[in-house]
């Protein structure tokens, strides 16, 4: 067994598992859920689950969970792991990553890995295109999407591109040991993303502008207050300001990053398409 893929229920882990299976590359899927038939129990917040998950492993695709990061690193070193590929976030490149609940956890795991003898590769995606899944709830119920900053830009990246980038750095030693900022091919506003989604679904996708306070109250059951505040601050900072995009996906995969339209077509069913 050579590769442990953590976060077994996550979209990137599932896509990576499919790629590894298709290429006949041995791997072990780790999941925090007990009794998963195709996965070993590996709860990244519970060090007691680490030894069995890491036994015989030489490389790890790691989701960023800060609560037991140092314990995971220690166990990985003891198990003989040589290379860890961390699914981090480009938010760690912001002006005060340690002060933001969105980036602080990713930063802590990065620091724990970089302070260890493990060869570490950092994959830092920007905005996941799959964040748009939150719009499926109002769209399927016939309500407009509520946006506090419809003109805020982001760099939506397809989870399939992240998985292919992970495959590349896991299987090509020359690519590992570096940090990569992964983005989609375009900087798009939320309003533009909704227009693209409407074009794919062939129906209007309305939105309504709400105040930050109204949005925070609406999302209170789903997003803890500090995280909601951090998101609002980020959106306010990029309101009307395109964010930079990179060619890291193409550098690692050999093809341009998939567009948001491609992502929308791949997931149209989730929006009732």
What separation in angstroms does the CA of 244 have from each of 30, 169, 271?
34, 23, 28
- The CATH T-level fold of domain 126-157+184-243+258-273 is Rossmann fold (3.40.50)
For the domain bounded by 3-125, which CATH number is listed?
Answer: 3.40.50.720
What does residue 29 show for φ and ψ, rounded to 5 degrees?
Answer: -90, 130
Q: Check if 3-125 and 126-157+184-243+258-273 are the same fold.
A: yes
Sketch the domain layout of the chain as residue ranges.
Answer: 3-125, 126-157+184-243+258-273
Could you please report the per-residue DSSP string of 136-193? HHHHHTT-PEEES-TTBEE--B-HHHHHHHHHHHHH-GGG-SSEEEE--SS-EEHHHH
Cβ(170)–Cβ(3) below 8 Å: yes
Q: Which tens digits make up the pLDDT trace of 49-64?
A: 999 999 999 999 999 9
How far apart (Å, rounded) are the C-alpha atoms in residues 216 and 158? 26
Q: Among 238, 166, 154, 146, which residue's Cα sits nearest to residue 13?
A: 166
Q: Which residues of the chain have pLDDT under 50?
A: none
pLDDT given at position 43: 97
CB atoms within 10 A of CB 155: 26
How far apart (Å, rounded) are the C-alpha atoms in residues 144 and 81? 49
pLDDT given at position 240: 98
3-class DSSP state of 61: strand
Q: Which tens digits make up the pLDDT trace of 226-259?
A: 999 999 999 999 999 999 999 999 999 999 999 9
Reported pTM:
0.96
């Amino acid at each position: 067994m050579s590769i442990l893929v953590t976060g077994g229920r996550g979209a990137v882990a599932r896509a990576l598992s499919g790629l590894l299976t298709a290429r006949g590359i041995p791997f072990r899927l780790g999941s925090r859920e007990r009794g998963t038939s195709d996965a070993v129990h590996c709860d990244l917040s519970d060090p007691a689950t680490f030894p069995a998950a890491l036994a015989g492993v030489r490389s790890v695709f790691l989701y960023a969970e800060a609560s037991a990061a140092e314990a995971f690193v220690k166990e990985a070193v003891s198990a003989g792991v040589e290379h860890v590929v961390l699914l981090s976030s480009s938010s760690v490149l912001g002006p005060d990553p340690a002060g933001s609940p969105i980036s602080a956890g990713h930063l802590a795991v990065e620091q724990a890995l970089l302070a260890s003898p493990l060869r570490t590769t950092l994959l830092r995606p920007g905005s996941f295109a799959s964040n748009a899944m939150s719009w499926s709830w109002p769209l399927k119920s016939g309500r407009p999407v509520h946006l506090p900053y419809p003109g805020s830009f982001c760099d939506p990246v397809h989870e399939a591109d992240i998985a292919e980038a992970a495959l590349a750095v896991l299987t090509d030693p020359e690519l590992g040991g570096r940090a990569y900022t992964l983005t989609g091919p375009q900087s798009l506003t939320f309003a533009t993303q909704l227009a693209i989604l409407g074009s794919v679904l062939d129906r209007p996708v309305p939105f309504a502008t709400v105040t930050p306070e109204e949005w925070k109250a609406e999302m209170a059951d789903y997003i803890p207050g500090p995280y909601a505040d951090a998101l609002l601050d980020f959106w306010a900072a990029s309101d009307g300001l395109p964010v930079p995009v990179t060619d890291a996906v193409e550098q690692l995969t050999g093809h341009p990053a998939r567009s948001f339209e491609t992502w929308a077509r791949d997931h149209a069913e989730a929006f009732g398409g």
